Chains A and B, each alone.
Chain A
């Protein structure tokens, strides 16, 4: 509302603005000013493009210079873009790859992350624990471009560490890593865990450190073993954090780390059958091939299925334990 119209509204309808309402604005008006910048960014970055999702149901024809005008003039074609997308074999491949990789990533992050956090907590020397935390977090700080360089130094077919030193040492034959797709389902989870695990371990550790020591003291007096304490005290008490993090990842199970699949595999076409995921597919078909209809259909498919999965997993959590559900 512009100030002028607001003043008008005030003047014409004085009865509508109850006392309570005035108190509300006097009390919380500042909050709205505080939240305005973020709301503007959310509108630009998230909510306006959501309206643009309708593009998936259109056949874009460039009728005028302004794209928005062209968008409005373009014909509605219903599910045509989707039919076209699902008639290709690509759609099955990218769905399978996206889900499989993410499932593996989620399990690895959870299991290894919690394990490392427990080990950190068990270390006697606080200073050593701090040091190892610092080094473990290091890969998290590298951009995917840098990681792709590092991976290349290992996998370079002629002079990479693996082909030059590691494989000969075991008596194996050199492998042309960037031309054989069958190895990537093992390579990518290793890289993803190596890069991200420090982050998960620290979040879990923060939760473990927050646990009151009295629980453990009581358990020790009762004669509970170390394993028993981990199983019956630590894990249950960090369960909310585990659930939130896993849940956030399940909500993103249809989304991939674009950098990992684009940079590290060097977007190499030979590897697509095991490395193409929905994100890289949308990028390739939109930016590289310029196929707006197909790529926006793939994008919307990704968003809607992802959303349904979030709701479903929340429902499951509600069934298991209502307190841990997100909404």
Chain B
């Protein structure tokens, strides 16, 4: 190529070519470490059970097979129902949580609000001291009688003090006080200022916190472990947990296994591939939702001081 290349002027903070090369190399290795385990799970889920048992897990299926997914599909109703529960809890929970937290963060971000510090304290004290599992459990089960309801999967994550902190920091730093002042002079009420000025300016932080709420709800299995016994309220994560438990139980208890075999001599438990197929089903949607939120992170994730 005989074109004239304009030598790029090196910026103030440019590293040397060699270090840049080393840094890049390092990050490629790190990226591989983050992605390969997932690829492994996907590959195993599409492999033939027997091959896996003989040759171990491979990054590429030696013998391609849908067996594991067929096995899961035989139980498709419960999986679809679990997806339904997870999606409902995630969507409704995230919307309510985001509204609740933003509405709390706005007043405590306003420098002219006299009791700002008191209400900040009420919020952030819960970060420092909590009651522990036993009173928490008894309060929800015996006090509010919320065991086996859809609400118990949502309420505990409606307010997360750390997210309120992130929201408040953003409101404080990125919404010009002058703007609020002029809106006030023009006679706008607080609701209007919040809805038409503060929120539109705060999209990055709302996206960031919204994503974290989504993750909280989608990935949660702990509330289910504590409070859910009903079959029709089992989320996809909790179903995965139970599946792994059942399979461990079956492979560990040869008596249980032989009981099944006695009933059905041809029964072959496709344990390895099915567990991994279950994992793929559970990972599913969150991976696709993720890149869309990614671009808001840097802007939204600036953590400010806890002090008001």
A292 within 8 A of B: yes
Query: Residues of A contacting B220 with CB < 8 Å?
Result: 143
Interface centre among A45, A71, A266 (most CB of B within 10 A): A45
A169 within 8 A of B: no
State the CA gap A296–B131 with chains docked (Å): 9
Interface string of A49-60 (1 = CB under 8 A from B): 111110110000
Query: Residues of B contacting A189 with CB < 8 Å?
Result: none
Binding-face segment, A4-12, A103-111, A180-188, A299-307: A299-307
Interface string of A288-327 (1 = CB under 8 A from B): 0000100110111011001100100000000000000011
Total A-B contacts with CB atoms under 8 angstroms apart: 282
* Contact of A141 (CB < 8 Å), options: B41, B137, B158, B215: B215
Query: Residues of B contacting A135 with CB < 8 Å?
Result: 30-31, 34-35
Q: Which residue on chain A has the smallest CB distance to residue B19?
A: A122
* Contact of A28 (CB < 8 Å), options: B55, B113, B278, B302: B113
A154 within 8 A of B: yes
**Chain B 114-139 interface residues, beta-carbon cutoff 8 Å to A:** 114-115, 119, 122-123, 126-139
* Contact of A136 (CB < 8 Å), options: B30, B52, B99, B110: B30
Query: Residues of A contacting B131 with CB < 8 Å?
Result: 46, 49-50, 52-53, 299, 303
A159–B272 touching, CB < 8 Å = yes
Query: Residues of B contacting A84 with CB < 8 Å?
Result: none
CB distance from B133 to the nearest CB of A (A): 5
Q: A149-B279, A205-B298 are in contact. Are A159 and B30 (CB under 8 A)?
A: no
Interface centre among B14, B101, B110, B279 (most CB of A within 10 A): B279
B159–A203 touching, CB < 8 Å = no
A165 within 8 A of B: yes
State the CA gap A268–B63 with chains docked (Å): 33
A67 within 8 A of B: yes
B12–A244 touching, CB < 8 Å = no
Query: Residues of B contacting A99 with CB < 8 Å?
Result: none
A61 within 8 A of B: no
Q: Which residue on chain A has the smallest CB distance to residue B133?
A: A282
* Contact of A145 (CB < 8 Å), options: B123, B164, B226, B240: B240
CB distance from B136 to the nearest CB of A (A): 5
A138–B226 touching, CB < 8 Å = no
Query: Residues of A contacting B133 with CB < 8 Å?
Result: 279, 282-283, 286, 295, 299
B41–A30 touching, CB < 8 Å = no
* Contact of A31 (CB < 8 Å), options: B113, B164, B301: B113
* Contact of A296 (CB < 8 Å), options: B129, B130, B135, B297: B135
A45–B156 touching, CB < 8 Å = yes
B248 within 8 A of A: yes
Q: A24-B114, A46-B131, A50-B130 are in contact. Are A153 and B57 (CB under 8 A)?
A: yes
Query: Residues of B contacting A153 with CB < 8 Å?
Result: 37, 40-41, 44, 57, 276
Q: Which residue on chain A has the smallest CB distance to residue B290?
A: A141
A258 within 8 A of B: yes
Query: Residues of A contacting B283 with CB < 8 Å?
Result: 142, 146
Query: Residues of A contacting B20 with CB < 8 Å?
Result: 122-124
Query: Residues of A contacting B237 with CB < 8 Å?
Result: 143, 145
Query: Residues of A contacting B240 with CB < 8 Å?
Result: 145-146, 149
State the CA gap A327–B306 with chains docked (Å): 8
B232 within 8 A of A: no
B142–A66 touching, CB < 8 Å = yes
CB distance from B22 to the nearest CB of A (A): 9
B-to-A contact residues, CB < 8 Å:
12-15, 19-20, 23-24, 26-28, 30-31, 33-35, 37-38, 40-41, 44, 52-53, 55-57, 99-101, 103-104, 106-107, 110, 113-115, 119, 122-123, 126-139, 142-144, 155-156, 158-159, 162, 164, 189-191, 194, 215, 218-222, 226, 237, 240-241, 244, 248, 272, 275-276, 278-279, 282-283, 286-287, 290-291, 294, 297-299, 301-303, 305-307
